[in-house]
Amino acid sequence: MKQAIHTIERNTNAYAGIEISKLDTSKEEAFSVHREDYFSLIYLLKGSGTVVIESEKIAITSPSIIIVSPLQTHYVEEISYCKGYNIDIENFLIPNVIICKLQSLNPTQQVITLDYKQIDKLFRIADLLFEQFENKGKAYTKEIIVHLSTALLFQSIANLPVQHIGKNDNVKTQGKIISDSFKVLLSKTLKVQSPAFYAKKLHISVSHLNDMVKSYTGKTSSFWIHYFIIIEAKRLLYHTNLTIKEISFELGFNEASYFTRLFKNTTGVSPMNFRNQFCDMS
């Protein structure tokens, strides 16, 4: 019998779309298979074990970073004597350049072994982030938390080995190359467009774009178009005072009602309710 895969939504303890918690255990632990609708990163100073990401079993040693993108099925098969931080971040708080970089990694590349000098730099930022998270509610805490998390992410991808970010990786399949290029275009366009628009930019047919993206990511090109548009919509709702109608036109929608319907169908809440979730934070 196949094990059910459940989706974990943002924890109610999260603040400003971010949650950070300390990992400190002297016993072996295991977790059931699941997926999340946010980015989850583990910064491991001590510990070892095994994690399974998209059916790929990967050994964990320390110090290391474990990166899980939204909607990826994963579970910790076992981990023991661990010490570090677990940080969950909503995708709309992460710059698109980082999203594309993180989502371009293969599962085996999502566990990154570091040296102690590298992890020390990351922990200095993570310690500050945790301190701010513990003192949330004070003036400018939200802004400090968001900018510290961004600094932590940039420092994290700066530690990726060259082969993880190089353009000439021989193990890349055609599907991966097209999917990565497609996502880079999506991250820069920021207006709703048809698959044909992106296929033309990539000098391929629409059917080839759809086939390659679906075969590599498991999702359609339309899914990814909406995915990046909703991320940008969340950013505008979070960071600006633009009205829902103004945001819909900013994103290229002819009708605000269609934007509102797409947003609610995708996120489960209306644009205004999403904004209200954060409006009382100082």
Whether 108 and 191 map to the same domain: the answer is: no
* Last residue in a domain, options 112, 139, 165: 165
Domain that holds residue 258: 174-278
Whether 217 and 274 map to the same domain: the answer is: yes
- Number of Cβ atoms within 10 Å of the Cβ of 274: 20
On whether residue 101 sits in a domain, the answer given is yes
Whether 48 and 188 map to the same domain: the answer is: no
Give me the mean pLDDT over the 110-135 stretch: 93
Whether 182 and 140 map to the same domain: the answer is: no
Report the pLDDT value the prediction gives residue 223, as an integer from 0 to 100: 94
**Alpha-carbon distance 105 to 69, whole Å?**
10
pLDDT at 272 over 90: yes
Averaged pLDDT score across all residues of the chain:
86
On whether residue 263 sits in a domain, the answer given is yes
Whether 36 and 144 map to the same domain: the answer is: yes
pLDDT tens readout for residues 223-238: 999 999 999 999 999 9
Whether 101 and 182 map to the same domain: the answer is: no
**Alpha-carbon distance 72 to 7, whole Å?**
10
On whether residue 1 sits in a domain, the answer given is no
* Last residue in a domain, options 146, 165, 184: 165
Q: In angstroms, how far is CA 89 from the centroid of its own chain?
A: 7
Domain holding 160: CATH number? 2.60.120.280
Among candidate residues 29, 34, 67, the one with its CA nearest the CA of residue 50: 29
Residue 157's identity, in one-letter code, is I
Whether 34 and 142 map to the same domain: the answer is: yes
pLDDT at 181 over 60: yes
pLDDT tens readout for residues 187-213: 999 899 999 999 999 999 999 999 999
Whether 26 and 130 map to the same domain: the answer is: yes
Whether 32 and 159 map to the same domain: the answer is: yes
Number of domains in the chain: 2
Whether 63 and 132 map to the same domain: the answer is: yes
Output the pTM of the full model. 0.82
What are the CA-CA distances from residue 14 to residues 142, 152, 159, 278 (Å)? Answer: 11, 17, 26, 11
pLDDT tens readout for residues 151-163: 999 999 988 875 5
Whether 210 and 118 map to the same domain: the answer is: no
Report the pLDDT value the prediction gives residue 280, as an integer from 0 to 100: 56
Alpha helices, DSSP H only, in the chain? 96-103, 116-134, 141-158, 162-165, 174-189, 195-202, 206-217, 221-239, 244-250, 256-267, 271-278
Domain holding 195: CATH number? 1.10.10.60
**Alpha-carbon distance 211 to 258, whole Å?**
27
What are the CA-CA distances from residue 133 to residues 16, 171, 252 (Å)? Answer: 10, 40, 36
**Alpha-carbon distance 36 to 7, whole Å?**
5
**Alpha-carbon distance 188 to 133, whole Å?**
31
On whether residue 62 sits in a domain, the answer given is yes
pLDDT tens readout for residues 67-116: 998 888 878 877 778 899 999 999 999 999 999 999 888 888 899 999 99
Whether 117 and 204 map to the same domain: the answer is: no
Residue 135's identity, in one-letter code, is N
DSSP 155-183: HHHHTS-HHHH-TT-TT--HHHHHHHHHH
On whether residue 226 sits in a domain, the answer given is yes
